[in-house]
A and B are shown apart, each in its own frame.
Chain A
Amino acid sequence: MKTRRDIFQAIADPTRRAILTLVALQAMTPGAITESFDSARQTISKHIQILTECELLTQQQNGREIYYHLNLNKMKELAEWLAPFAQMWDDRFNRLDDILNN
């Protein structure tokens, strides 16, 4: 539960969501990510660190450079988080279907 909460705190921030969107298109170095924003290097570094701690970003060493990838499995967890809520509503609507059809 704690990890899930962390993920949501991580992606609640607009800059971090923008970083995820960028990295979803292609793996990027920290330098390339920083260049895409007006914020200070240190600020972006902190955002990348939080996203990495939540496992939304994964690092890969390629020669002398580190590349950040989007962790799709972690993103899937977010969809699964909605499932029980959707199920609750679907059950409710299915009961209504029975009433409406009679």
Chain B
Amino acid sequence: MITHNNTQVIAEPGKQELFIIREFKAPREKVFKAFTDPDILIKFFAPFGNTMHFNHHDYKSGGSYSWYNKNAEGKIVCTFAGTIHELTAPERVIQTSEFMEMPERGHAVMEAMFFEELENGRTKLTIHDVCFSVADRDAMINSGMEHGLVDIFNQLDALLN
């Protein structure tokens, strides 16, 4: 387990699951909307200075989504797609998520997002991801590091040029 500023990540060794937990100083309806409204998602979801774009979106029970990130040079760096099993506003979303640039299909992740109402208009978000294998789970965590490294290398390139 690690707490990074306000974000808690729990990923026990040898398990196929991980948890991401964070509290927001905003009411549950507002936080829920941010994670299910493409117009808001594109404003905050893309990491490392990338931009987020949707191929399609239909945020409802039985719906689906597909989005990709572009880096500063306009290159597509990753595409994620999935189906939405259940969307119950403002409580939870249960969906699949698959990294589409993997060399093979079949590594979809089951993802649940729970939005819990707290006192003083605060909201607790718990993201619970379950992977098919420990290797898939570890690869997902490594992606944070690999992108982080790519970021560092890009900055280094910029300095050197």
B25-61: CB near A (< 8 Å → 1, else 0) gives: 1100011001000001001110110000000000000
Q: List 16 A-B contacts (CB under 8 A).
A: A79-B1, A85-B145, A86-B7, A88-B48, A88-B144, A89-B144, A90-B22, A92-B45, A93-B7, A93-B24, A95-B43, A95-B44, A96-B34, A99-B43, A100-B24, A100-B30
Query: Do B14 and A86 touch (CB < 8 A)?
Result: no
Partner of A81, one of B24, B40, B145: B145
Since A85-B11, A101-B25 are in contact, a sample of 5 more A-B pairs with Cβ atoms closer than 8 Å, ordered by chain A residue number, is: A17-B14, A84-B148, A90-B4, A100-B25, A101-B26
**Which residues of B lie under 8 Å from residue A12 when comparing CB positions?**
13-14, 134
CA distance A101 to B47 in the complex (A): 20
Complex Cα spacing A98 to B31, Å: 12
Which 5 residue pairs across A and B have the least CB separation, nearest first?
A85-B144, A86-B4, A95-B44, A100-B26, A90-B7
Most buried by B among A8, A11, A14: A8
A99-B40, A99-B44 known; A11+B144 contact, CB < 8 A: no
- Judging by beta carbons under 8 Å apart, are B25 and A97 in contact? yes
Q: Tell me the interface secondary structure of chain B in the complex.
A: mixed
User: A89 CA to B145 CA in the complex, in Å?
Assistant: 12
A70-95: CB near B (< 8 Å → 1, else 0) gives: 00000000110111111111111111
Q: Does A13 reach chain B (CB closer than 8 Å)?
A: yes
The answer to whether B34 and A88 have CB atoms under 8 Å apart is: no
How many angstroms from the CA of A7 to the CA of B43 in the assembled complex?
37
For A83, give its contact among B4, B30, B134 (CB under 8 Å). B4
Interface residues of chain A, those whose CB is within 8 Å of chain B, are 8, 11-14, 17, 78-79, 81-101
- Shortest CB–CB separation between residue B159 and chain A, in angstroms? 20
Pair A82/B43 contact, Cβ less than 8 Å = no
A90 to B134 alpha-carbon distance, docked (Å): 23
CA distance A81 to B138 in the complex (A): 10
Q: In whole Å, how far is A27's beta carbon from the nearest beta carbon of chain B?
A: 21
Interface residues of B in 1-27 (CB under 8 A from A): 1-9, 11, 13-14, 20, 22, 24-26
